[in-house]
Amino acid sequence: MNLRSSMVEVATRLLRIYFEFGPETEGPRQPVRQDGTATADANAEHPIRRWVRQPWNRGDSKSPGVVGQTVGATTPVVGPRPTIHGDTISAKLNLAGGNLTTTDLTVVGNVSLKHTIDTPSGPLPTVLTGEQLQLRDTEGDEILQIGSGLDSPAKLKVGDGYFIGPLIQVRLADNIVWIRDAGEFQVPTQMLPQMVGDTPLFQPLGEATPPTRGAAAKPTNIRWVSPPRCRWRGQMLFDGTKIALTGGIDVRGAVLVGDEPELWDIDLVGDQLQVLLKQNLPMRQFDAVKSAAIDVVGVLSSSERPLVITANQLTEAGVRKARHVLTTPELTFRPETSTVVGVGPGWYRAWMQTEQSPLASVVTSDGFRPADESLVGLHLAFRDSLQANVTNQSLEFIGNVRIASRPVVGWDDRIDAELVEGLRLGESTLDCERLRLGIDPNRSRRLISTAWEMEATGRVIFQTRNDKGLFSGQAQRASYTAAKDVFLIEGEPGYGATLNQTLPTGAAGMNVAVKRMSVNTRTMEVLNVEFERLQLGTLPGLSR
């Protein structure tokens, strides 16, 4: 059967309706005609008929003109009406003081509740499905509960987002959505930003950058190819201001970044996740969904479930350019600015397509330089914190930072910065207090190799080994721009910049102390230098 009213549409095979009367109701009254006079119709004396307006054709002049008990008028739903489908629907109707309300609604078998919410981006369809639905309204406490069991979980779908779980409970009075046991949640794209930030969080690095780099950048376009989707093993609780997931979480999403878009495929695992909204979202007010937006996403770890983020960076054609793995005890992400803040201690690993070993070319001015494109591995450990900007593809690590790099044979070949001591050919290390890694904003995203930048500050100590020998040195600041092959070291009073060489034979090579020096590592051209000391080592053919 189908039932249509000003409030709702219902479709079911079996409908059961139960009536109850409130204490203030004086029982069934004598039905009256439209002219106000009582009727003596014996059929109208039946109690149920006294509360129901008898159907009749308004154009029929022989209409009996009998009306039942008058109940309070109900304001029709504005826009599309909710629809309820189910094999069996049971409803308990309460009549109190002339008002007719539903206090208990139960739908069993192939349950579907559909509604459409208007948003600035267009209609937002909402669908609730499961095997059994219950709606109870007792003393103002409205509880909506739908379940299907572990084999066929219930689902609440909002746009292209959804909640899935064996039991979904909504408490409207408390503004709570609770999903018991393990489940899944996907953020609707209507709640995700499509443009991030007005200016880059981190400015480009290094002396060799053009002056225009310091200017404000235009906002970066992002497009979610796969909206963030989260699975949890504990439970989910939403109270109108935040979503809390516990018992182990796994979040996945994919986003295209930039005008020449690159695809970032991101996977995050941890112990707990919290999503904070910018403002409270009352579930009684469907219009509030129009302005709903995410403010902060926080992720926590535990000893049993560490926090690990894995991001694969791909070209438009699907060719992997780089892989990044980060672990930290706690992480906070702000979608509006695309910024990430984490606490230490933690570590970061990367595999990048490049034409050279990152640190080897930085400190040698020549040496180990593979002729063909190679895969380089990085491992970085930090003590205090990290800051990142996903849109500008930059990372900053703070506190007792140590980084090591070398060529690797595959995406699963790992290195350990703490174990790199006596350097082998092609290996490099760097220690400092603060280090930034970023993608050169002037590079072409169509290139498979990664045009990256690095800046290290705070008592920088670096070393590398190649076929020219062992190179080591120190500086207060060091930076490198891979796209231009420019390496810069700077000192300061009390902590000068030095570069020392030990030849493969063990003999001393060059030993130079400078205030400032920048070198093109491919051509060995010195771009700028201010000497403090220069020692060339033993010159060929020079006798004592």
pLDDT in tens, the chain (544 residues): 777 766 678 889 998 888 887 665 555 555 555 555 555 554 444 444 444 554 555 555 554 544 444 444 455 555 667 888 999 988 887 777 666 677 788 899 989 888 876 666 667 778 888 898 888 876 667 788 888 766 778 888 887 788 888 888 888 778 888 888 899 988 777 666 654 433 332 323 333 333 344 444 444 566 778 888 889 999 999 888 898 999 999 999 888 876 667 888 999 999 999 989 888 877 666 566 666 778 999 999 999 999 999 999 888 778 888 899 999 999 999 888 888 999 989 999 999 886 544 454 444 333 334 444 578 898 999 999 999 887 777 889 999 999 998 888 889 898 898 888 768 888 889 999 999 988 765 555 444 445 678 899 999 998 888 777 888 889 999 998 877 778 888 988 878 888 888 888 888 887 888 888 887 766 556 688 887 766 555 545 544 4
C-alpha separations of 336 from 198, 204, 277, 504, 515 in Å: 10, 21, 12, 52, 41
Terminal C-alpha separation, the chain: 111
The DSSP bridge pattern shows strands 83-96 and 122-138 to be unpaired
Q: In DSSP terms, which residues pair with 264 in a beta bridge?
A: 255, 313
Q: Which of 363, 437, 430, 377 is nearest to 406 (CA)?
A: 377
pLDDT at position 138:
67
pLDDT at position 233:
94
CATH 2.60.450.10, the chain: domain bounds: 195-207+217-535
Rounded Cα–Cα distance for residues 359 and 352 (Å): 13
What is the fold, at CATH topology level, of the domain defined by 195-207+217-535? Answer: lipopolysaccharide transport protein A fold (2.60.450)
The answer for residues whose C-beta is within 8 angstroms of residue 152's C-beta and 6 or more apart is: 131
Residue found by looking up tokens 């491919």 in the block: 522
Q: Which of 428, 410, 414, 412 is nearest to 487 (CA)?
A: 428
Tokens of 199: 């200016």
Would you say 479 and 439 are in contact if contact means Cβ atoms under 8 Å apart?
Answer: no
C-alpha separations of 355 from 361, 520, 526 in Å: 10, 15, 21
Rounded Cα–Cα distance for residues 89 and 104 (Å): 11
The answer for residues whose C-beta is within 8 angstroms of residue 435's C-beta and 6 or more apart is: 380, 382, 396, 397, 401, 403, 454, 455, 456, 457
Instruction: Tally the residues of the chain.
Output: 544
Q: Which of 135, 60, 67 is nearest to 103 (CA)?
A: 135
Interior angle at CA 221, CA 479 and CA 185, nearest 5? 105
- The count of C-alpha atoms lying within 13 angstroms of the C-alpha of 303, restricted to the half-sphere facing its C-beta, is 0
Tokens of 152: 């066929």
Q: How many CB atoms lie within 10 A of CB 123?
A: 12
**Amino acid in position 291:** S
pLDDT at position 252:
92
pLDDT at position 83:
87
Tokens of 458: 């705070």
C-alpha separations of 320 from 174, 265, 406, 437, 446 in Å: 47, 10, 19, 19, 12
